[in-house]
Chains A and B, each alone.
Chain A
């Protein structure tokens, strides 16, 4: 994969916003791009670090995943699950139509 070349464009911001399910007004795209570029430029210092042969750290604890037994110990709490739902009906969550 490539090194980041150049800056985040308004078009990039649009794409990121889309992936993030956030709306950005078109006149805000460019200012936001500049905003992000300011932060990313500062992050670019990481390129100074020699990471040759260094393993990435993905977890702050150095152990293997603990595992649980295959037992039914949860569920059967529909009221709890649905309690805070913006809309529900007949035991289902009700959401805007997800297919056309």
Chain B
């Protein structure tokens, strides 16, 4: 049998449907790949035994004619999603051995659809990072290594690396400022952040509630659409969940983009951006034009303020969201001489440096005397960014941009310069602030042979167009490069 791990999710589902192989065989092949790739450090927790059991159960279901959308597919879950009875860490020491007695709505949907969970994927601590180097469980190594260890991007670095290295057919991820799309770009994979409210946040460890949104990382645009169909859906347990139907997005993939108006925002040509990224973007514009789309220059004048606004809003919400990790009811407790000391020790030892830094920034921008100047102002800038997009939609249907301002970089290179690190999200963060869908599609390699992605941004709830445009881009790019399996 050919290497089952090379299959796309779509092909694997078809193969199981045709009886070419079982979920058990497929799952075992992926477990082997996971074990081979242990050095990539993509997993925090593996659940291989359970995976084989669920694969067998899936095969039995299939025999009885019961076939879910993800029936029998071995997938990974970012360790930010609570999984019942399985240790959930958020990449932090502070959660200790926390094993939630509940299952996140997103993973519950996927399990109901037949997912086989291989384990919990590594991430930046509490999803705070763009390189997966802030994880308490160590950095994830990008499978696209060229002579030195490279970061896979973050925060969904484990998800991106695992999919990029064919360790799973797809994975869940979350995106607060670019945490799905930037690692997808860094690993030659596809990642979509849907419209805010599409995927339930219930049971997903919160980073910044008004920005967090779950989505998949997958090998192809269509795979990402299949996964998102399973993940998305109304959840009355999340007050910000949208009570609307989930379309069959996989059917939008491959549809013609003739006449589609693709906006090109001039503000995304930033100083210091590598020439290769600019030329890839130009290439993308040409591809879309060739596919019949109309190219429209647009302006998103507040783009440069998105990142600083994000670095007020996200830490502010995070400082409050992370207050519950206090050592009293679950997770780590470091005993001190009294209550206050116990709080301090627990949180100081339990949180890593970047998380502590963001909690401090968040606390500062919300504190008396600074709220108006920072938090309130940032929320108003956010409104401005939304207005930019509203104006853009007058003349275009979707927007094409680079996903990230660089190719994957070496582990450790940006760790000590927070602002430099934050700039990784410069092209992705606007959609989080505005709640819009955005997808990253692998579009080419740089001179060093490292993957680069392009991003399609759509109108709220218009994932249809996003998938259509993304698959046109995918088709034109014909990106088939794979990292060499140096880790085996």
Q: Do A and B bind each other?
A: yes
Stretch touching chain A among B264-272, B284-292, B335-343? B335-343
Q: Least Cβ distance of A1 to chain B in Å?
A: 4
Known: A65-B239, A93-B329. A46 touches B360 (CB 8 A): no
Chain A positions within 8 Å of B482 at CB level: none
Q: Least Cβ distance of A24 to chain B in Å?
A: 8
Chain A positions within 8 Å of B369 at CB level: 1-2
Interface of chain B residues 293 through 346 with chain A (CB within 8 A): 302, 304-305, 308-309, 311-312, 319, 323, 326-333, 335-336, 338-340, 342-345
Q: Least Cβ distance of B422 to chain A in Å?
A: 8
Closest to A68 in B: B236
Q: At the interface, yes or no: A59 with Cβ under 8 Å from chain B?
A: yes
Chain B positions within 8 Å of A80 at CB level: 101-102
Cβ-defined contact, B364 with A16, below 8 A? yes
Q: At the interface, yes or no: A3 with Cβ under 8 Å from chain B?
A: yes
Chain B positions within 8 Å of A40 at CB level: 361, 364
Q: At the interface, yes or no: B347 with Cβ under 8 Å from chain A?
A: yes
Chain B positions within 8 Å of A13 at CB level: 360
Cβ-defined contact, A16 with B339, below 8 A? no
Q: At the interface, yes or no: A4 with Cβ under 8 Å from chain B?
A: yes
Cα distance A16–B333 when bound, in Å?
A: 21
Cβ-defined contact, B101 with A49, below 8 A? no
By size class, the interface of chain B is 35 or more
Cβ-defined contact, B308 with A51, below 8 A? no
Q: Least Cβ distance of B476 to chain A in Å?
A: 31
Q: Least Cβ distance of A52 to chain B in Å?
A: 9
Chain A positions within 8 Å of B242 at CB level: 61
Q: At the interface, yes or no: B378 with Cβ under 8 Å from chain A?
A: yes
Chain A positions within 8 Å of B309 at CB level: 46
Interface of chain B residues 326 through 382 with chain A (CB within 8 A): 326-333, 335-336, 338-340, 342-345, 347-348, 351, 356-357, 359-361, 363-364, 367-374, 376-382
Cα distance A50–B33 when bound, in Å?
A: 53
Q: At the interface, yes or no: A20 with Cβ under 8 Å from chain B?
A: yes
Residue with the highest number of chain B CB atoms closer than 10 Å, among A3, A22, A95: A22
Partner of B305, one of A1, A46, A96, A97: A46
Q: Least Cβ distance of A60 to chain B in Å?
A: 3
Q: At the interface, yes or no: A43 with Cβ under 8 Å from chain B?
A: yes
Q: At the interface, yes or no: B419 with Cβ under 8 Å from chain A?
A: yes
Cβ-defined contact, A45 with B211, below 8 A? no
Known: A43-B374, A93-B329. A38 touches B364 (CB 8 A): no
Cβ-defined contact, B333 with A8, below 8 A? no
Known: A49-B381, A59-B210. A96 touches B360 (CB 8 A): no
Annotate A29-68 by CB proximity to B: 1 below 8 A, 0 otherwise.
0001001101110111111110100111111110001101
Interface residues of A (CB under 8 A from B): 1-4, 8, 12-13, 15-17, 19-23, 32, 35-36, 38-40, 42-49, 51, 54-61, 65-66, 68, 77, 80-81, 83-87, 93, 95-98
In the complex, besides A36-B364, A49-B305, A60-B210, 7 extra interface pairs with C-beta distance below 8 angstroms are A4-B370, A43-B374, A44-B308, A51-B380, A57-B380, A86-B331, A96-B336
